[in-house]
């Protein structure tokens, strides 16, 4: 499919994308989905539905049959690293994202790997930590942070890349109610395209205008979030109620 065929308002397009685990088990089957510029899209589904696998594919970290277009450009093995400058993934477990001795080094890691000069790296580190209210902890070892702070720190590592699209995998899991509310309000304030993988239906309803329902690796429905959340029979059938 030529780039000219990609709609101008589509930030990310997934066309007939499938993925199988190394043992041959199907994780995703023929997924077709679009994310529009400035949109917040929830990918909902029960555990094991393929939500995390789909986000890894969107980020160019997994490859399989089908096509993924990022801002009109086909994502391939050869250009994935370059295009990933425009899309950032926050993993479900913040400890998968935080591995440096001190927090500011984790946040600086991505910009440094872009080859940015030290002044620009420092600007991005400060800006990202300020946005998640962790600037005063920039010298703190990540393992000394609370779980909620680790969540925000992992988000800062993604924000420092200044992506056009932000992917978040189960961002509210294991958060206390106050921290969860703060995170949702913060995500609402972002002026970038979001994809949120979650089985937290309240999060989907609060944050995302559209939702895609995944179940057993298949895309079951894509609609306005309130339409999906009001369909009790659909949610019960796919173990979401």
Domain boundaries, given as residue ranges, for the chain: 3-237
Residues 6+ apart with CB under 8 A from 87: 12, 58, 59, 60, 70, 163, 164, 165, 166, 167
Angle formed by the axes of helices 147-159 and 103-113, nearest 10°: 20
Give residue-wise pLDDT tens across range 160-210.
Answer: 999 999 999 999 988 889 888 888 998 999 889 999 999 899 999 999 999
Is 80 exceeded by the pLDDT of residue 154?
Answer: yes
| Longest Cα–Cα distance in the chain | 55
Is 70 exceeded by the pLDDT of residue 2?
Answer: no
Give residue-wise pLDDT tens across range 111-140.
Answer: 999 899 999 999 999 999 999 999 999 999
- The structure tokens listed for 154 are 């992992």
**pLDDT tier at 84, thresholds 50, 70, 90:** confident
Whether domain 3-237 has CATH 3.40.50.300: the reply is yes
**pLDDT tier at 241, thresholds 50, 70, 90:** confident
């Amino acid at each position: 499919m030529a780039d000219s065929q990609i709609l101008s308002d589509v930030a990310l397009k997934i066309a007939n994308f499938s993925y199988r685990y190394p043992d041959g088990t199907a994780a995703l089957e023929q997924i077709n989905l679009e994310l529009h510029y400035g949109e917040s899209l929830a990918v909902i589904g029960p555990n094991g539905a393929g939500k995390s696998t789909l986000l890894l594919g969107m980020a160019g970290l997994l490859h399989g049959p089908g096509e993924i277009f990022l801002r009109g450009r086909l994502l391939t093995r050869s250009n994935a690293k370059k295009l990933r400058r425009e899309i950032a993934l926050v993993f479900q477990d913040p400890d998968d994202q935080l591995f440096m001795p001190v927090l500011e080094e984790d946040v600086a890691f991505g910009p440094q790997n872009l080859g940015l000069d030290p002044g620009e790296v420092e600007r991005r580190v400060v800006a990202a930590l300020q946005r998640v209210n962790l600037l005063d902890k920039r010298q703190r070892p990540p393992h000394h942070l609370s779980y909620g702070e680790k969540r925000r720190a992992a988000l800062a590592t993604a924000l420092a890349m200044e992506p056009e699209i932000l992917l978040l995998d189960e961002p509210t899991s294991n958060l206390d109610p106050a921290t969860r509310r703060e995170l949702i309000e913060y995500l609402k304030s972002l002026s970038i395209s979001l994809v949120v993988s979650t089985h937290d239906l309240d999060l989907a309803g609060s944050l995302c205008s559209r939702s895609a329902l995944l179940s057993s690796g298949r895309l079951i429905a894509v609609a306005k979030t309130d339409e999906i959340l009001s369909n009790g029979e659909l949610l019960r059938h796919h173990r979401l109620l």
